[in-house]
Amino acid sequence: MPARTNSIRVMLIDCRPLVLMGLHDLINARKPRMEVSGQASTYASALDLADQSRPNVIFFSFFPDALDPLEVIAGLARNAEMKVLVLKGLYEAVPVAEAIEAGARGVVLAEAPTESIIQAVIKVHHRDTGLDIAWAGGLSGYAANGKKPIKCKVEHAKQAQLTLREKELIRAIVREPSAKYMCIAGRLGISEHTVHNHLSNIYHKLNVINRVDLVMYALKHGLTNSEEPPDASWMELD
């Protein structure tokens, strides 16, 4: 008999009873693949509950509270086994990039189809990035707002391997994270095949897994800053 797959334990943090109820029913409807391990309506109770129940994924909503939500995310994210997934309403002003910098593993829109929300839980649980593409653009706005990137000396060796062309490609992607590779290629005057080759090299050098992961890395480590003038004639070398 095959071994039974462990259920994904999901914790809910929101001050709105209706949202908690909806998420509770949505998650528990997927038993035994996933189930709600607990829910909290204040950040203080959420920290206590997370410490007791040790969930795999934590649905986190921003709301008025005595505790700073970003500090709460940072506290929850200290346990690598607990993945924070931010739930954001379409018209809610939520500091997406700061939440990711604090340790959140993904962001999902509350208005997204229910199956998309379920898939976000699964992806985040398996250490993939659950960032909804609708909010990828919000990350480039974070760079434009002049936020200071977090410096990490251990990353300098990785970044030193990047060529000028690779750095320029990274900046192009950060400026428009949701752009298709064909559009990026046309803007830089190279082929789509070359873009994919450069990205493959970048992923390997920086140890990132996909484009969203690259955008978050670039913002965190200051790769959006142009230290040298852009190569205006970045032509493809075959």
Q: What is the DSSP letter of 166?
A: H
d(CA 12, CA 50): 10
Which pTM does this prediction carry? 0.58
| Domains of the chain by residue range | 8-131, 148-221
Backbone angles phi, psi at 39, to 5 degrees: -145, 150
The residue type at 6: N
Cβ-proximal residues to 28 (8 Å cutoff; 6+ apart), any chain = 35, 36
d(CA 185, CA 129): 24
Q: Tell me the pLDDT tens digit for each residue of 142-194.
A: 444 444 444 445 667 778 888 888 999 998 888 887 788 888 898 888 999 99
Identify the architecture of domain 8-131 in CATH: 3-Layer(aba) Sandwich (3.40)
d(CA 69, CA 60): 9
Q: Tell me the pLDDT tens digit for each residue of 22-49.
A: 999 999 999 999 999 999 999 999 999 9
- Domain 148-221 fold is Arc Repressor Mutant, subunit A (1.10.10)
